[in-house]
Amino acid sequence: MRYFYLLNFQHIMLYLFPALIFIILLALSLGGSHFRVPDSEERKRNILHVFPEGVEDRNAPFPVAISLIVIGTVVWGVLYILMNGLLGVKI
């Protein structure tokens, strides 16, 4: 039993709002930014294939957010392995 019932509500808000803010920022970053090359607008417009359900396939530019996530994951993984090996951290 907790002495302060408002503490449960505060914990829920501390978990909920950062997750919602992250989802909104990720959606905005995926939707609007990509590496600009001379033919990127043409690649976004050209339809390569139309699937039976009406889904259209394009060769659109790669979003910057996904690039940063992939690069960050690889860098974190390499540094994690190196630091575990060098510092002898027990997991």
Q: What are the extents of the domains in the chain?
A: 1-32, 35-91
Quick check: 90 pLDDT over 70? no
Per-residue pLDDT, averaged over 28-47, amounts to: 74
How remote is the C-alpha of 15 from its chain's centroid? 18
pTM over 0.75? The answer is no
Residue pair 43/61 in contact by the 8 Å Cβ criterion: yes
Question: φ, ψ for residue 81 (rounded to 5)?
Answer: -65, -45
Residue pair 77/83 in contact by the 8 Å Cβ criterion: no
The CA distances from residue 88 to 13, 23, 46, 73, 79, in Å, are 37, 36, 53, 22, 13
Q: pLDDT category, 89, cuts 50, 70, 90?
A: low
Q: What pLDDT sits at residue 4?
A: 67
CA-nearest of 74, 8, 68, 7 to 35 is 68
How confident is the model over 52-85, as pLDDT tens digits? Answer: 888 888 777 777 777 888 899 999 999 988 888 8
